[in-house]
Amino acid sequence: MKDKKVFVCTECDYQHPKWVGQCPSCKKWNTMVEETYQPKIEPKNTRTSIISDFSEPVLFKDIEMPDYIRSTTGIGELDRVLGGGIVDGSVVLLAGEPGIGKSTLLMQICSQLENTVLYVSGEESKGQLKLRGERLGLYGDNTYFMTETNVDNILAQVEKLSPKVVIIDSIQTMFDPNCVSIPGSINQVKECAIKLIATSKSKCFSVLLVGHVNKEGTIAGPKVLEHMVDAVLYFEGERFQSYRIIRAIKNRFGSTNEIGVFEMTDVGLKEVPNPSEVLLSGRPTGVSGSCAVCVVEGSRPLIAEVQALVTPTTFPAPRRTSNGVDYNRLCLLLAVLEKRLGLKFSQNDIYLNVVGGLSLDEPSVDLAIALALISSIKDIPIPENVLAIGEIGLAGECRSVTDMQKRISESFRLGFNTIAVPSKSITSDLKIPNDVSLISVQSIYDTLKLFKDNK
């Protein structure tokens, strides 16, 4: 039978005989990719289902509470993100850019887990795995390594070895012989994931899948892959910087938006239990355009440094560069400052950066960004013991944020005794240390008194 070519949407799996710029189903642009396969007639009831055991419907009150057992990975920062460890029978998807350290982290997990582990690599040979294991100090006697891309052969070894944890590096390299698409295609990734998830649920072993990230920053393959797994972890950071962050985007057995911080060294990833001190190390003093801010990532407060540089432009259109903060958010704050305070940012080039490679998308960083911009354009340093927390509206008002108690306690622990906070966040139940002075900020106009005292 002649091969058939179709165009498949990476977002919704919609198939179309010709390429179109916009998917007719989900209305996303530039998501149609070409795939070649040989159509065949499959007998009914032969496709693997995620829930293989037939069950009768029962009342909710009659359902027994399951006893989920967690296996610690031996890496505290990763256990924090997972909610305490890997749940038996769960499927975790770890995604990140090439060279970020995904394989390094998974190999370090192999040396810490006490149960039997099957590490399957579709990208490296056994010799390469041996070299990396020697460099990382992996001497585990309960870890089996396998170089294979056929998912049926992998499941056969799972049946033989009965491991508690199976690591697939990566899911884009696996293929199902019953699916005639090329490895890495949408259908192949989906079919391989379905087989692995179905076997994981029925045999009650955990699966760690490595996912590649495309140039748009999303996981390569079908979007449905993220819905099928129990947890989705993103490995963030710059390859040329030493710090890495694991962020939980989805977690059925724990908190979302929890983060773990690591430092890449010559012997692998090293945990950073106190990232605030690391991010503030080397902070300059007596320099304009720098302001500290406290953000909450999951259950952890972090102190970050926001730097701004405002300089007269030599171009017809001033430049705007933002690293670590949404570009549109920067433009919004510039418009508010220019409208309400009359500062001529439109005549200057503006560069904004968050030290350490962090990405701050929380609204509580608005006040710190505004103070850094005002400090830079006026060339007046902000006192090094000052920290700012608050969201700024279009009218220039400063709105309250959540978890204020956590933010104040963490700021005081790191030596910040003057904290600018929204006026509505100062409540009677707020416990303020004796050495801490809170500056009530009702609107953006109240920030100017911080600079009058330092002229």
Same domain, yes or no, for 399 and 425?
yes
pLDDT for 69-83, tens place per residue?
888 888 989 998 998
pLDDT grade, residue 140 (50/70/90)? low
Residue 234 has pLDDT above 70, yes or no: yes
Domain boundaries, position 19: 4-37
Contact call for residues 149 and 173 (beta carbons, < 8 A): yes
What is the predicted pLDDT for the residue at 150?
A: 93
pTM higher than the cut 0.95: no
Same domain, yes or no, for 132 and 167?
yes
Same domain, yes or no, for 235 and 349?
no
Across 17-21, 187-191, 262-266, 320-324, which has the greatest mean pLDDT? 320-324
Chain mean position to CA 44: 40
- Picking from 273, 307, 333, the residue at the C-terminal end of a domain is 273
- Picking from 252, 273, 294, the residue at the C-terminal end of a domain is 273
Residue 295 belongs to some domain of the structure = yes
Same domain, yes or no, for 200 and 224?
yes
Residue 57 belongs to some domain of the structure = no
Contact call for residues 430 and 389 (beta carbons, < 8 A): no
pLDDT for 82-128, tens place per residue?
988 899 889 999 998 888 889 899 988 888 888 899 999 998 888 88
What is the predicted pLDDT for the residue at 48?
A: 47
Q: 45 burial class (0-12, 13-18, 19+ CB within 10 angstroms)? A: exposed
Residue 208 belongs to some domain of the structure = yes
What is the predicted pLDDT for the residue at 44?
A: 44
- Residue 447 in tokens: 């920030």
What is the predicted pLDDT for the residue at 46?
A: 46
DSSP 280-308: HTT--SS-TTEEEEEEEETTEEEEEEEEE
Same domain, yes or no, for 86 and 167?
yes
Same domain, yes or no, for 142 and 160?
yes
Report the CATH number that the domain containing residue 196 is assigned in CATH: 3.40.50.300
pLDDT for 13-41, tens place per residue?
778 888 888 888 888 888 888 876 655 54
Same domain, yes or no, for 197 and 303?
no
Name the packing angle between helices 126-136 and 102-112 (round to 10°).
70
Q: How far apart are alpha carbons 190 and 184 in whole angstroms?
A: 10
Sign for the CA dihedral angle at 309, 311, 314, 316 comes to: positive
Same domain, yes or no, for 251 and 180?
yes
**Mean pLDDT along residues 58-69:** 79
Q: How far apart are alpha carbons 275 and 303 in whole angstroms?
A: 8
Contact call for residues 298 and 248 (beta carbons, < 8 A): yes
Number of folded domains that form the chain: 3
Residue 191 belongs to some domain of the structure = yes
Residue 239 has pLDDT above 70, yes or no: no
What is the predicted pLDDT for the residue at 39?
A: 54
Mean pLDDT over the full length of the chain: 86
Q: How far apart are alpha carbons 164 and 206 in whole angstroms?
A: 6
Same domain, yes or no, for 79 and 218?
yes
**Mean pLDDT along residues 253-267:** 84
Residue 414 belongs to some domain of the structure = yes
Answer with the residue of higher pLDDT: 164 or 186: 164
Same domain, yes or no, for 267 and 284?
no
What is the predicted pLDDT for the residue at 50?
A: 46
**One-letter identity of residue 30:** N
DSSP state of 74: S
Name the packing angle between helices 186-203 and 151-161 (round to 10°).
10
- Residues whose CB falls within 8 Å of the CB of residue 449, separated by 6 or more in sequence, listed in order: none
Residues of the chain above pLDDT 90, percent: 41
pLDDT for 396-439, tens place per residue?
999 999 999 999 999 999 999 999 999 999 888 888 888 889 99
For the beta sheet containing 165-169, the strands, ordered from the edge strand earlier in sequence to the opposite edge, are 143-147, 117-121, 165-169, 206-212, 91-96, 231-236, 243-251, 259-265, 268-271
- Picking from 210, 243, 273, the residue at the C-terminal end of a domain is 273
Q: How far apart are alpha carbons 72 and 53 in whole angstroms?
A: 28
Same domain, yes or no, for 253 and 288?
no
**One-letter identity of residue 33:** V
Residue 55 belongs to some domain of the structure = no
Same domain, yes or no, for 295 and 266?
no
What is the predicted pLDDT for the residue at 49?
A: 47
Q: How far apart are alpha carbons 306 and 364 in whole angstroms?
A: 12
Residues of the chain above pLDDT 70, percent: 91
Residue 42 has pLDDT above 60, yes or no: no
pLDDT for 183-194, tens place per residue?
778 888 889 999
Residue 42 belongs to some domain of the structure = no
Residue 309 belongs to some domain of the structure = yes
Report the CATH number that the domain containing residue 299 is assigned in CATH: 3.30.230.10
pLDDT for 204-219, tens place per residue?
899 999 998 877 677 7
